[in-house]
Structure 1
Amino acid sequence: MTEAREQPVVVYDGVCLLCSRWIRFLLRHDDAGRYRFAAMQSDSGRDLLQAHGLDPESPFSMLLVENGRGYTDTTAIARILHTLPQRRWRWLSRAILSLPTRWRDVGYRFIARHRYRLFGRSEQCFVPAPEQRARFMP
Structure 2
Amino acid sequence: MQLPLPPSPMALPLSGRFPAPFLPPSMRKAGLLHPIASASLSPTIKDETIDWVEATSNFFEKDTRPIMLFDGVCNLCNGGVRFVRANDRNRRIRLEALQSDAGKKLLRRSGRAPDDISSVVLVEKDRSYIKSEAVLRIMEYLELPFPQLALFLQFVPLFVRNIVYDNIADNRYTLFGRSESCEI
TM range (shorter): 0.7 to 0.9
RMSD: 1.3
The residue identity in structure 2 corresponding to 1:52 is S
Higher percent of residues as helix: 1
Query: Is the CA contact 1:74–1:96 (under 8 Å) kept in the aligned structure 2?
Result: no
User: Could you tell me how far 1:53 is from its partner in structure 2?
Assistant: 1.7
In the alignment, the residues of structure 2 paired with residue 64 and residue 47 of structure 1 have an alpha-carbon distance, to the nearest angstrom, of 13
> Counterpart in 2 of 1:106?
163
In structure 1, list runs of 5 or more residues that go unmatched. 128-138
**Could you tell me how far 1:56 is from its partner in structure 2?**
3.2
Q: What residue number does 1:66 align with?
A: 124
> Within 2, Cα distance between the matches of 1:105 and 1:18?
17
| Aligned twin of 1:3 | 62
TM-score (norm 1): 0.84
1:34 matches 2:92: yes
**Aligned 1:1-138 pairs, distance under 5 A:** 2-4=61-63, 6-86=64-144, 88-127=145-184
| Higher-RCO chain (CA-CA 8 Å, sequence separation at least 6) | 1
1:57 and 1:83 map into 2 onto residues whose CA distance is 27
For the pair shown, which has the larger CA radius of gyration, 1 or 2? 2
TM-score with structure 2 length normalisation?
0.64
> What percentage of aligned pairs have identical amino acids?
37
The aligned length equals 125
Q: How far apart in 2 are the matches of 1:95 and 1:51? A: 30
What amino acid sits opposite 1:67 in the alignment?
K
- CA deviations over 1:17-36 (Å, ceiling 9, x no partner): 01001111111110111111
